[in-house]
Amino acid sequence: METSQVLQKVFRNMVYAVLGIYLVISSVGWGAEVKTPKYPAKSIDAVVPFAPGAGTDLMGRVMAEAVSKKWGYPVTVVNKPGGHTIIGTNEVMRAAPDGYTILVDTLGSSSMQFGTKDLPYKVEERTFMARAAASPMAFVVPYNSPWKTLKDLAEAAKKDPGSLTWTSLGGTSGTDLAMRQFFAAAGIDVPKTKMVTFPGAGPATNAVAGGHVQFSAATGGTILPLVASKNLQCIGVTSSERLKDLPDVPTTPQQGFPSVNAVFWIGFSGPRGLPAHVVRAWAETVSTVLKDPEVIAKLDRITSVAAFLGPEEFKKFVLDEARVIKEVIGDKGH
């Protein structure tokens, strides 16, 4: 057989082989319908990077219960406080990107961390799925405190800043943002005051109720039980109108501090690379349950309201908020 004939036979066999592979793929793979994996198919851990009783925890539990009911699989709140939210947040960021370990996110674990040195993750690289709810901040002092308004406290602190003790959650929380806004607006010499750090707003407000610390800020849901039991006195809220549960407490604008407008929010995010169907499931479900009258009523009982944002809008919101926070707190967030 001549060389040319041999080459033709080899080439013809190669063509037949490739054609055979194509036909197999067409019938088995390309012709088959690609199905989106079922999600969820088991229970989900929702990590709260704060201690129980704080706004993130309270609002997160309302939403977790609603989402669980919608999906028929439990969304379990897991509290992982400490490390200025880094411990709990990092656990989620290192988790498998499958949607079964997610973060109950908030400004303390996201927008307030920009500029923080040596983070084990990059905030902007996480997968933002949905913002859910928001709440104004409430300023509190011990029930028997002589300060009845924010102006009372500001005047005393300016005269003797060294005598003022106040709570911090490590520089990365709605509490810290509200406090810093107030100190800036009131002209208080912060370095001369005494900051006391706590792992969450729950322990912080309990310390104020016990008279161990003089001043704090938290969400309404955190402070209302202690106000009702006359262990705390609320002296201001960061809302445009008075809260219906605290009708006698004037707002920050009413007391001459319009720039003190910190708003606390929660949302849901996850590690980098979450599949699109997981992100879509969270965004659609959060949006849906926030229209449920029962969920709205539960949020209302902790002075919170629905504040939904989808994935792209949520990420943009965090990046924009980070720039505003930098002006108040600085580069480090501490």
Contact 129, 318 (CB under 8 A): no
Q: 225-258, pLDDT tens digit by residue?
A: 999 999 999 999 999 899 999 999 999 999 999 9
The rounded distance, in Å, linking the Cα atoms of 171 and 3 is: 80
For position 19, what pLDDT does the model report? 41
Extract the residue ranges of the chain whose pLDDT is less than 70. Answer: 1-34, 330-334
Other beta carbons less than 10 A from residue 143's beta carbon: 16
DSSP of 280-321: HHHHHHHHHHTT-HHHHHHHHHTT-EEEEE-HHHHHHHHHHH
pLDDT at 334: 36
For 110, 150, 238, 283, 318, the CA distances from 313, given in Å and listed in that order, are 14, 34, 24, 11, 9
Quickly tell me which residue has 């005269």 as its tokens.
159
CA atoms of 220 and 96, how far apart (whole Å): 35
User: Which phi and psi angles does 252 have, rounded to 5°?
Assistant: -65, -40
Residue 187 to residue 234: CA distance in whole angstroms = 21
Dihedral of CA atoms 264, 240, 234, 159 in degrees, nearest 10, equals 100
Please compute, for residue 71, the number of CA atoms within 13 A of its CA located in the half-sphere on the CB side. 23
Alpha carbon of 104 to those of 13, 68, 118, 234, 323: distances in Å?
59, 14, 22, 27, 22
Backbone φ and ψ of 114, nearest 5° = -65, 130
Short-list 61, 54, 37, 70, CA closest to 286: 70
Whether the CB-CB separation of 272 and 93 falls below 8 Å is answered with: yes
Name the 3-class secondary structure at 186: helix
Length of the chain: 334
Structure tokens at 320: 């924009």
Instruction: Write out the two tokens for 29.
Output: 């793979």
Give the model's pLDDT for residue 26: 41
pTM for this one? 0.79
Predicted pLDDT at 297: 96
Q: Which has the closest alpha carbon to 154: 194, 189, 178?
A: 189
Question: Domains in the chain, start-ordered, CATH in brackets?
Answer: 44-134+263-329 (3.40.190.150), 136-255 (3.40.190.10)
Token pair, residue 264, equals: 């606390």
Rounded to an integer, what is the distance from CA 324 to the centroid of its chain? 17
Strand ranges (E), the chain: 44-48, 75-79, 101-106, 127-142, 165-168, 194-197, 216-219, 232-237, 263-270, 305-309
Q: How far apart are CA 153 and CA 159, in angstroms?
A: 10
For residue 178 the two structure tokens come to 């509200």
